[in-house]
Structure 1
């Protein structure tokens, strides 16, 4: 059985909690990513997504350089450990209607998994199973 550690992205882009939404937007643009993990005292304390910036800042016509990231971040982020079975992580994402899960190891940020990681894993698993089925049918 595969575990989260097998598919997680270990390199996670973060931002300090006291930075502004403008700072976050610059990082999102430069790195071509859609969310950041918010860090305080070297521990994750929240997440912020492009969607949150649009809904909580842009749609309210607020100035991004005047809004602290901790004012709009989601503090109720979901997480799992690296040795969580992938099936359990998928279930947690579905149950909570979320697109990504933070991976914590002893309260420290270890990685992240996204819907894209899960889709790639499933695709490779389906391709392998399809190849095995073809080999079995050729033997018959």
Structure 2
């Protein structure tokens, strides 16, 4: 059974909690990504996403350079361990209506798994299954 460790992104872009939302937005643009893991005392303490910035900063007409990440971040992030099955991770994402899960190993950031990772995994699984079915039908 495939585990989260098999498809997770290991190179996670992080930012310190004391930075501003403007700093985060700049990093999101430069790295062409949609979220950052916020670190405090070397541990993940939250997430800031493009969606958070739109809903919590832009929609409230706040000045991004004056709002700290600690004020704006989503503190109740969901996480899994690297040995969590893909099926369990998908279920956790669906149950919580979220697009990404932080991967923690011994409370340390090990990676992240996103809807995109899941989609790529499922696509390759479908293609492999289709190829196997074609081979089986040719050999019958």
Classify the TM-score, shorter chain. over 0.9
What is the alpha-carbon root mean square deviation over aligned residues?
A: 0.5
Per-residue deviation, 1:139: 0.6
1:60, 1:86 → 2: CA distance? 37
| 1:8 match | 8
Structure 2: 5+ residue stretches without partners: none
1:77, 1:94 → 2: CA distance? 14
2:17, 2:56 → 1: CA distance? 16
SS at 2:38 equivalent:
strand
What per-residue deviation string (whole Å, max 9, x for no partner) do you get for residues 85-106 of structure 1?
A: 1100000000000000000000
Structure 1: 5+ residue stretches without partners: none
| 1:62 match | 62
What per-residue deviation string (whole Å, max 9, x for no partner) do you get for residues 35-70 of structure 1?
A: 000000000000010011011111111111100011
TM-score (normalizing by structure 1) = 0.99
Write out the 4+ residue segments of structure 1 that deviate beyond 3 Å after TM superposition: none
1:84, 1:60 → 2: CA distance? 38
| 1:74 match | 74
1:86, 1:59 → 2: CA distance? 35
Alignment of 1:50 with 2:50, yes or no, is yes
What per-residue deviation string (whole Å, max 9, x for no partner) do you get for residues 81-126 of structure 1?
A: 0000110000000000000000000000000000000000000000
Aligned residue pairs, count: 140
TM-score (normalizing by structure 2) = 0.99
